[in-house]
Chains A and B, each alone.
Chain A
Amino acid sequence: MTASRQGVFSFQELISRLQAYWQSRGCIIEQPYDMEVGAGTFHPSTFLRAIGPEPWRAAYVQPSRRPTDGRYGDNPNRLQHYYQFQVILKPSPEDIQDIYLNSLVKLGIDPLKHDIRFVEDDWESPTLGAWGLGWEIWLDGMEISQFTYFQQAGGLDCKPVSGEITYGLERIAMYLQGCESVYDLIWGPGPDRDITYGDIYHQNEVEMSAYNFEFADTQSLFAWFDTCERECRKLIEKELPLPAFEMVLKASHAFNLLDARHAISVTERQRFILRVRDLSRLVAKAYYDKRESLGFPLLKKQ
C-alpha cells in the first residue's frame, strides 16, 4: 500500500482505493480523456455512452478545468484545475445508493459516526443539453459527491437511465487528511519526503490563473470557437460523431476561457451556450445513429 510515511491517507491512495472498489463492482477502469474538459461528464465514456440502449459501467479519474475558478494559488479551496473521480453505471442498478455508500466505507468513512445525507440537487448542463435528477452527498455538512440519474443527454431521452456518481477528490482527501488547504494535501510519499498537492500544482495554479485571466488571446479564441463550430458541423455531415464531439469540447473550453477573460457579455453568454448546445444535440444524434448502424455492439452478450 502507498500510505504516506506520516500515516495519512494519501491522494493517490484515495484514487487507487476508489479504482479497486469500482473495479470490484464490474466497472472497467478507464483513463482520463486527453483534452481540456470542465467535468468528468464531458468524457465520451459518460456523455456519449449515456446515449442509446447499450449497457456501460466505467470509472475513471478526470482532470477538470474551470478557468474562472482560478485564484492564483491564493485560495485554499479553489482551483482552476482539479480532479474528479467519475463513475457511470448504465442502467442504474437498483442498489446504486448502497453501492456508493459502501465505497465511502472503503475510504474509512463510518456511516454510524459521520452524518451522510442525500440532499436534493437537480443537475443540468445547458451546453450538453443534458439534465438529470439526484443529489449532492453531504458528509458532515460538506458536499463530497454528486449523484445523478441522467434523464436526457444531447436532447435525447436516456433509455436506459445512467446513474452518474462524481467524487470531488480534493475535498474528500482534505477531509480524510484533516487539512485546511488543498496545497497541503499529501499526494504520496516521495523518495525523501511526502510530495504535496502544492508541490505538484501550486505553480500551475499561479501560471494558469495568469493565462486564463490576463493573457489568453481573446481574438484567437473567438476565431477558434467559430472554427470548432464549423468543423463540428462538417464532421457530423461526414458521420464522424467522435471527432465532432472533440470539436464540441474544444469550443466549450474556448468559451470558458473567454468567460474568464470577461470577453463575453451576459447577453452574448446565453447565445454562446446555445451554440454549443446545438452542436451537442447534433453530436448526440449522430452518435446514436452511428451506434445503431453498427448494431449496438455492446448489446451482444458473449
Chain B
Amino acid sequence: MTESKDLLIEIGTEELPPRALPGLSGAFADQMQKGIADVGLTYGKIRRFATPRRLAVIIEQLAARQADRTTEKRGPSVSASFTDDGKPTKAAEGFARSCGVTVEELDRIKTDKGEWLGLQVHEPGKYTEELIPAIAVQTLSRLPIPKRMRWGESNIEFVRPVHWVVVLFGKDIVPFELFGIKTGRKTHGHRFHHPGAIKLENPSEYQHKLRDPGYVIADFNERREQIRSQALTVAKACRGTVIIDEDLLDEITGLVEWPVGLSGSFDKKYLSLPPEVLIACMQNQQKYFPLQDADGKLLNHFIAFSNIDSLDPEIVRAGNERVIDPRLNDAAFFWQQDLRRPLAEYQHELEGIVYQKQLGTLAEKTTRLEKLAGHLATLLDQNIEHARRAATLSKCDLVTEMVGEFPALQGIMGRYYAIESNELTDIARSLEEQYFPRFSGDRLPETETGIVLSLSDKLDTLAGIFAIGQVPSGEKDPFGLRRAAIGILRIIIEGKVDLDLVDCLTAAVDGYEHLKVSDDLVNQVFEYMMERLRHYYLEQGISMDIFESVYARRPTRPLDFHDRIQAVRNFITLPEAERLAAANKRISNILKQADDQKIETEIREELLQETAERDLAAALNRVSKIVMPMLNGNEYSNALTELAGLKAPVDAFFDEVMVMCDDEVLKTNRLALLKDLNQLFLRTADISRLQN
C-alpha cells in the first residue's frame, strides 16, 4: 500500500462570470481527475468548489507516488542482429547505443513470431508532486472558457485575472508557478468580511476555514441549497410563496460567497402590468425571486440576495427597493407606449428587420407564414381565416418596446397586445403558443390556431435554413433546427394532428421558390426529421430496431408512424414474436435471392402439394380476411396480433416444405405464398429487422 495524501488546488480570481461558473468548475475537476488517472495515480473522492472568486478541487487520498513500471524496448530481430560469424550488426549496435548498454547486455525477447533483441527497462514511479504541475497546467488550458482575457502587462489569458494559487499536497506546498504566480498555502476569505489571507495547514481545512473565519461557503451546491432554504424562509415571513427559477438560482449562487436573503416590496400599482413583465424585471434585470400568493397571483414583494451580512440590513433593503421602482416604471411606460397602436399596425415595421440575410426580412417571413398556415388549416379542415390572421400578427410584438427590452417575452407580449387589440382569444393565445415547445419537455400548443402557427413557424425555419445550406452539424445549431424538428414531431404525435410531413415540407419549401432550391430539399429535411424522430423514440426507451422496422416502410404521416411503433412494441411482447421475426427475416432473404420483382403474385391452389403449404395458404387466406379491414383502418396493433396467429403454420411450413425445390413451377408458387405473407406484415412494419 503506497502512502496517500489529499491534494488541494485553488485558483483565486476576480469575480468570475456566474453563468459559466458551474461549467468551469465541472471541467476543472474532471480534467484534474483525468490528468491524474492518465499518469496512473490512484485516488479517492474528488470534491469541487466554486465561488465568484475561486475555483478549487480537492482530490482525496491521492497516491504519493506512481507505481514502478517495467517496460520493454524492442530492437531488431536476432537474425538481423548478428552476422553469420556471430558479430553484432550495425542495427544491433545502434539499438544498444540508443539504450545506453552494450549488445551483450541486451535481453532476448522470444515470441511465436520470432526472436528479437530487447531490453527490460525498470522505471521507478515518479513522486506525485513532480507530476502535479504539468497536470494542473494542462487542466487549466482545457477549461471551457467562454471568452479569455488578458490583464495588466501580461500575456497570460484566463477567465478573469488571477490573484493567488494554493496547491497543497498533504501538509506541503507543491512549489511551481501558475499564471506567473507562485503556489502557496494562503487563500482569501470574503472580499469584505475577511479580506486578509487564511493560512491552510492541509487540504482538509479548506472548506471549514473558508466558512469560519472566511465568510465563504465554498461548495456551490451547498450554497445554492442554502439560498433556496433562505428564500423559502423569507417568503414565509412575507406570507407568500417564492417562485424559484432554477437558472436564476444557479446564477445567484455564482454571484455570492456569503448569501444573505432579504425581502423588499414595490408599489402595488405595478401589479396591473402583465405578471410576466414584472417577473422579467425582477428576475432578469435585478436577479430577485418574485413572490406569489396562494392563488398564484403575484405579490408586490421580492426576495433579493446580497453578498454581505450587513451591519445595517435596512440600507440594503431600501436600496434594492429604490432600484426596482424605476425599472417597473420603465416597463409601465413601454406597456403604455406599445398600446398606443393596435398590434397589427406594427406589421410594416417588420420590413426593416432582417430575419436572416438570405431569407429576407420578418415581413417576408410573415407573408410565407400566412400562406403556410392557411394551407395547413385547409388540410386540417380548420378555420383558415384565423390561421392567416394569427400568422399576420405572429411577429408584430418583436418590434414593440417591451420585447425590445425583454426579448424573452416574445409571444407572451403578442398575446397580451392581441387581446388589448380585440383580436380573438384563440388567435391571441396562438401568438404565444407559436414558440411552444421551447425546450425539451416543454408544453405544446393547445389551441387549433396555435398548433397550425407553431407548425408553420418551425416548418418555415427548417425549410429556409436547409435551403441556404446551413444544415446543423455536430454541436452547432445556431437556428435551433433540432428543437424545431422535434417540436413539429411532438406537436403532431402528442397532439394527434394528422398531417403528412412530406406535404407540409413541400408547402414550406414552396415559400422559398426564389432561392432556386434543389429538388431533393424536401427529402433532405424529411430525412433530418426522421433522425430526430429516432432520438425521440430512443429517449422514450424504444429501441433502434423497433424504429427501424417502421422506418423501413417510410410512413410520411408521423401519427401513422407512431401507431405502427406502438403496434410493434405490442407485438414484441407476444410469445410468437421472436419466431415470426426470424421467419420474416428468412422470407425476405429468400425473396431477395429469388429476385423479388419476378415473383408471381397469384397463388395457384392446385399447385399446393404438401399439407404444410396448404395449411399455411388456408391460414393466410383466413387471417388476411380479418386483417385487411384492420390495416385499412390503421389498426396496426390488432392486425399484428392477429398475424401472430400464423406462427404455427409458418413454422410447420419451414419445417416441412422445401421452397427452393427443383420444380420451377412449384417453387414459384411457394415464393408467391411467402411474398403474400411477407406483404401482410409489411403493411405495418418490416419485422424482419427486429432483434430478439
Contacts and interface: CB of A to CB of B under 8 A. Distances in A.
Interface residues of B, number: 45
A189 interface: no
A267 B354 contact: yes
B319 A115 contact: yes
Contact of B323 (A110, A113, A116, A142): A142
Given A120-B18, A140-B320, A142-B319, A115 B149 contact: no
A110 B149 contact: no
Nearest to A140: B319
A265 B149 CA distance: 35
A161 B152 contact: yes
A113 B255 contact: no
Contacts, number: 111
B352 A115 contact: no
A141 interface: yes
B126 interface: no
Contacts of A159: 150, 153, 155
A106 interface: no
A101 B149 CA distance: 22
- In the complex, which of the residues B150, B193, B306, B308 has the most CB atoms of chain A within 10 Å of its own CB atom? B150
Given A141-B286, A161-B151, A117 B255 contact: yes
Interface stretch (A16-24, A91-99, A245-253): A91-99
B323 A140 contact: yes
A266 B255 contact: no
Interface stretch (B94-102, B310-318, B526-534): B310-318
B311 A112 contact: yes
Given A139-B319, A266-B352, A151 B192 contact: no
A151 B161 CA distance: 13
A25 interface: no
B15 A120 contact: yes
Given A77-B326, A93-B152, A141-B320, A115 B307 contact: yes
A138 to B, nearest CB: 9
B133 interface: no
B399 to A, nearest CB: 9
Contacts of B326: 76-77
A287 to B, nearest CB: 20
Interface in A54-98: 75-77, 91-94, 97
A135 interface: yes
A180 B151 CA distance: 38
A118 interface: yes
B431 to A, nearest CB: 21
A92 B310 contact: no
Given A93-B152, A113-B311, A118 B52 contact: yes
Nearest to A93: B152
B223 to A, nearest CB: 15
B153 A141 contact: no
Contact of A112 (B14, B147, B163, B310): B310
B565 interface: no
B353 interface: yes
B175 interface: no
Given A122-B147, A133-B147, A133-B160, A113 B152 contact: no
Interface string A170-191: 0000010000100000000000
Given A140-B319, A160-B153, A115 B308 contact: yes
A114 interface: yes
Contacts of A140: 306, 315-316, 318-320, 322-323
Given A133-B147, A140-B319, A265-B352, A115 B152 contact: no
A113 B160 contact: no
B192 A111 contact: yes
B304 interface: yes
B26 interface: no
B17 interface: yes
Interface in B14-28: 14-19
B153 A91 contact: yes
A223 interface: no
Nearest to B304: A141
A200 interface: no
B54 to A, nearest CB: 14
Contact of A115 (B18, B310, B324): B310
Contacts of A94: 152, 161, 163
Interface string B232-267: 000000000000000000000001100000000000
Contacts of A266: 352-354
- In the complex, which of the residues B14, B151, B163, B354 has the most CB atoms of chain A within 10 Å of its own CB atom? B151
Interface string A253-291: 000000000000111000000000000000000000000
A120 B17 CA distance: 5
A145 B286 CA distance: 15
A119 interface: yes
A115 B306 contact: yes
Nearest to B262: A115
Interface string B19-42: 100000000000000000000000
A78 to B, nearest CB: 8
Interface string A105-139: 00000111111111110100000000011010001
A140 B52 CA distance: 17
A225 interface: no
A119 B256 CA distance: 10
A92 B319 contact: no
Contacts of B16: 120
A94 to B, nearest CB: 7
A175 B308 CA distance: 19
Interface in B144-177: 147, 149-153, 155, 160-161, 163
A11 interface: no
B320 A91 contact: no
A76 B327 CA distance: 12
A149 interface: yes
A93 B161 CA distance: 11
Contact of B152 (A139, A142, A160): A160
B306 A113 contact: no
- In the complex, which of the residues B16, B192, B311, B318 has the most CB atoms of chain A within 10 Å of its own CB atom? B192
Interface string A135-171: 1000111100000010100000011110100000000
A118 to B, nearest CB: 4
B520 to A, nearest CB: 32
- In the complex, which of the residues A75, A110, A140 has the most CB atoms of chain B within 10 Å of its own CB atom? A140
Given A135-B15, A142-B323, A160-B153, A114 B147 contact: no
A81 to B, nearest CB: 18
A199 B329 CA distance: 24
A91 B152 contact: yes
Contacts of B322: 140, 142, 175, 180
B315 A151 contact: no
Interface in B57-95: none
Contacts of B14: 97, 118
B319 A141 contact: yes
A25 to B, nearest CB: 16
Contacts of A135: 15
Nearest to A53: B153
Given A114-B319, A140-B323, A92 B151 contact: yes
Contacts of A119: 15, 18, 255
19 contacts: A76-B326, A94-B152, A110-B311, A113-B312, A114-B310, A115-B307, A115-B308, A115-B310, A115-B316, A133-B147, A135-B15, A141-B324, A142-B322, A159-B155, A160-B152, A175-B319, A180-B322, A267-B352, A267-B353
- Report, nearest first, the 4 A-B pairs whose CB atoms are least far apart: A140-B319, A115-B306, A118-B15, A141-B320
Interface of B: 14-19, 52, 147, 149-153, 155, 160-161, 163, 191-193, 255-256, 286, 304, 306-308, 310-312, 315-316, 318-320, 322-324, 326, 329, 333, 352-354, 361
Given A92-B152, A112-B192, A112-B308, 9 more contacts: A113-B312, A116-B307, A120-B15, A141-B319, A142-B319, A149-B151, A151-B149, A161-B150, A266-B353
